[in-house]
Structure formats: C-alpha cells, structure tokens
C-alpha cells in the first residue's frame, strides 16, 4: 500500500500535464495582427489602418499560374492583398503592433513557447512556422526572432 501511495501523486502530475499537452499548431481563434484578420477585405483593412505609407507588388503562383498582388505598407505593418484571394499575408514590422494570443515583441523563445503551448526547438534561420489548427486553408503563423527575442509575426496563406 505504501508503494501505491507514493506513485499516486506522480500520476496526478502526469495527468495534469497531459491535459495541457504541447501542440504543433497555432489556434485558429484570435488570429489578428494589428486588428486585421485574414477574413478582412482590402477595403476593411484600409478603413481600419488608414492611408498607406507606400505600396508595392508581389508575385505568387497557384494552380492557375502566376498572379500579381499588392503589398500595402504601413509604418508598423505590411499586408499582401490579391483581388481574388483577399489578404494573403499580414506581418508586423514594428514593436507597437497588437499581436495575437498575448504575444509581444521582445518575448524570449521560451516565453513564446509557454504562451502558445509548444516545445521550442532550435531556431532555423531565426524563424518558427506553426500551421494554424482546424482550418481548411493552408495558413501558418510565422514567428521571427532576433537574438532569442520575438521580432515580428506573420500570418500567411500559402499554397493553391
């Protein structure tokens, strides 16, 4: 009986950790960067963010071939927008942008891992890409680090 009572607390500790198990994807709820989500239209994004600082173009490729989109550049953010596909990328480029899930520029890799419930490994080229859980589209959350500190966040649709 003594042996059983010594293993019982260990069982509860392991059970508690299993309930909050590490995940390999970002939650789909709350995916806003600077108040913009992928479901916003170009007009809605411009209405929320105001006049752009600059614009540019980008090229993408899907099953229909090459296409060109517009990059809307703001002082703290960038948006890649295609007329047919909508917003394809939302990126923070400054430290004062509201990030999803309580992320903040300057957080350490370990803090980000704890907040998003994933086990941080080594940084490949200063980036971590997490697919978004439970969505039909190919969307990922890209976390950019510099000197082990969160520098920026991108929400990107990729693939056809």
The single residue listed with the structure tokens 């927008």 is 81
Q: Flag whether 25 is in a domain.
A: no
Domain for residue 12, yes or no? Answer: no
Q: What is the pLDDT along the chain (160 residues), one digit of tens a residue?
A: 444 444 333 333 333 334 444 557 888 888 999 999 998 999 999 999 999 999 999 887 777 788 889 999 999 999 999 878 889 999 999 999 999 999 999 999 889 988 888 777 767 678 888 899 888 778 999 999 998 899 999 999 876 5
What residues make up the domain containing 127?
32-157
- CA–CA distance, 51 with 37 (Å, rounded to integer): 18
- Residue 135 counted as domain residue: yes
Q: What is the CATH number of the domain that holds 70?
A: 2.60.460.10
Q: What is the pTM of this model?
A: 0.80
């Amino acid at each position: 009986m003594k042996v059983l009572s010594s293993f019982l607390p260990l069982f509860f500790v392991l059970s508690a950790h299993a309930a909050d198990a590490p995940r390999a994807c970002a939650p789909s709820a709350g995916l806003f960067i600077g108040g913009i989500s992928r479901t916003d239209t170009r007009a809605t994004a411009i209405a929320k963010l105001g006049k752009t600082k600059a614009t540019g173009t980008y090229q993408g490729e899907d099953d229909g071939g090459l296409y060109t989109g517009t990059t809307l550049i703001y002082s703290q953010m960038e948006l890649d927008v295609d007329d047919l596909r909508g917003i394809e990328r939302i990126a923070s480029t400054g430290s004062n942008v509201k990030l999803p899930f309580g992320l903040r520029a300057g957080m350490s890799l370990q803090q980000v891992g704890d907040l998003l419930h994933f086990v941080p490994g080594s940084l490949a080229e200063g980036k971590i890409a997490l697919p978004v859980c439970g969505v039909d589209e190919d969307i990922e959350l890209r976390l950019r680090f510099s000197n082990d500190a969160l520098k920026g966040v991108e929400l990107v649709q990729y693939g056809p």
